[in-house]
Amino acid sequence: MSNANPQGSGDAGWPEYLTGGGQGGHGAGAGSEAGSEAGSEAGSAGASAGDGASSAGGAGSSTGSADQPIGPGAPRRVIGTPPPAEARTMLPDHSHDGPAPPPRELPAEPDDPVRANKVELLVAACFILAMLAGFGFLVAYGTIGVGSIVKVQHSNWALGGTLGVTMLLLAIGATIWVRHLMPTVERTEERHPMKSDAKDIEAFKETFEEGADTSQFVKRPLVRRSLIAATIPLAVAPLFLLRDLGPLPGDSLDTTVWRKGLRLLIYGTGRPITPAEFSSPGSLVSVGPEGYLDDDDAMAKAAVIIIKFRPGQLYFTNENHPVPGKTVKNWTVDNIVAYSKVCTHLGCPAALYDQVNHHILCPCHQSTFDATQGARVTFGPATRPLPQLPIGVDSQGYLIATGPFNQPVGPSFWERG
Ligand code: FES
């Protein structure tokens, strides 16, 4: 015989590279041969005739069991690994030419069919509810507009809630399915060469088909179909997202609600303000247009800051339009200047004011604007000055806008540079 595996000598399940049987060479071989021909005692004698590596074979022969091998040179099983007799592999065993391993067995049906049927209904219920929640996501996406901050909030709640419930129910259904319908079998697999040969591929195919069979996926159409149905909304959801490509914004990004005659109301109190009340140089007040202070959408673009300067501090241009590095003189009142509060980088409220250097600071990314020079950018990622709002006083002496912003407020975009 040429079988050098110690299994033949009673060391069941231990591969040669662990026992040293292959390296034991003639000693182990002799032991195995003798063991098969004259029984375990003769095998033990054969082992004693070999070198040191053959002692494992001798020990195996003497015990004749799959228990932990004993004796010098015997491999030690690592805690947590199954004993060799219990080890199973999904691939054919190439380590010896002995008898083929027993056919793999997985229970084709659960032990308790009645309970399995109840579990099946439970799993299907989860998947169907997941499907309904998925359709709820689509309905919420299609019906809840995003034209206002409140609507966006509601949309986020609805979309997040329905999608979360969909995922949760899918997870619950799958977990119940795996834990209560599929068989629980522990399998181990030894390392093998990366490239699979034909036998391995065939074995994998068998394993896959066996697994598909025992997972009940084929046999239980209710589970299969409800799972497929549950994933339909998720599959088509990306198509609905294409709706966000429109409609085009038109001029909504270029304009605000500011127009000639609207009073500047103090943000928070809603009071109009006169130049006399705002007489302390270095002061900064946030204001909004009359009639729009409670309109979050309008205020998102129309928020304005007014700053009072001492005479001579502002760098004026007499042109009736913005000039880089200059403040438009006839858009101010008594050295009070009004700038958009919306940062031209990414739209954060820029309302931190450095009275010493007359710098308006945006807290998000530290863009800095010089308030004395037409709010030009002196530092940071913003590329445009804060737009200046033309202001004057009305017949009652309150500050008013004398026109809209003559350039878009807020972040730059591709058409704006
Ligand atoms: S948003 Fe103001 S610096 Fe970025």
- Residue-wise DSSP of 219-257: T-HHHHHHHHHHHHHHHHHHHHHGGGG-S--TTTTT--S
Share of the chain above pLDDT 70, in %: 73
Residue 181: is its pLDDT beyond 70?
Answer: yes
Q: How much is the mean pLDDT over the chain?
A: 79
Count the Cβ atoms, other than its own, within 10 Å of residue 372. Answer: 20
**Cβ neighbourhood burial of 376 (10 Å; 0-12, 13-18, 19+):** buried
User: Which band of pLDDT confidence, cut at 50, 70 and 90, is reported for residue 96?
Assistant: low
Query: 199 CA distance to ligand 1 centroid (A)?
Result: 63
* Nearest atom of ligand 1 to the alpha carbon of 367: 3
> What helix, strand, coil percent values describe the chain, rounded to 5?
40, 10, 45
In this structure, the residues whose C-beta lies within 6 A of any atom of ligand 1 are 343, 345-348, 350, 362, 364-365, 367, 380-382
Convert the pLDDT of each residue in 342-383 to its tens digit.
Answer: 999 999 999 899 999 999 999 999 999 999 999 999 999 999
* Nearest atom of ligand 1 to the alpha carbon of 343: 2
In contact, 338 and 304? CB cutoff 8 Å: yes
- Residue-wise DSSP of 109-136: S-S-HHHHHHHHHHHHHHHHHHHHHHHH
**How far is the CA of 259 from the CAs of 299, 308, 405, in angstroms?**
14, 22, 8
What is the average pLDDT across 133-162?
A: 90
In contact, 63 and 56? CB cutoff 8 Å: no
Residue 192: is its pLDDT beyond 70?
Answer: no
Residue 151: its pLDDT value, please?
A: 84
Tell me the two tokens of residue 74: 């015997």
User: Which band of pLDDT confidence, cut at 50, 70 and 90, is reported for residue 214?
Assistant: confident
Beta bridge partners of 340: 304
Query: 352 CA distance to ligand 1 centroid (A)?
Result: 12
User: Which band of pLDDT confidence, cut at 50, 70 and 90, is reported for residue 245?
Assistant: confident
Burial 157-166 (b: 16+ CB within 10 A, else e): ebbeebbebb
What is the average pLDDT across 274-282?
A: 90
Query: 345 CA distance to ligand 1 centroid (A)?
Result: 5
**How far is the CA of 104 from the CAs of 66, 112, 207, in angstroms?**
20, 22, 9
* Nearest atom of ligand 1 to the alpha carbon of 382: 3
Residue 89: its pLDDT value, please?
A: 54
Residue 389: DSSP 8-state: P
Residue 52: is its pLDDT beyond 80?
Answer: no
Boundaries of every domain in the chain:
6-86, 113-245, 264-401
Q: Looking at the domain covering 264-401, what would its CATH class be? A: mainly beta
pTM across the whole model: 0.51
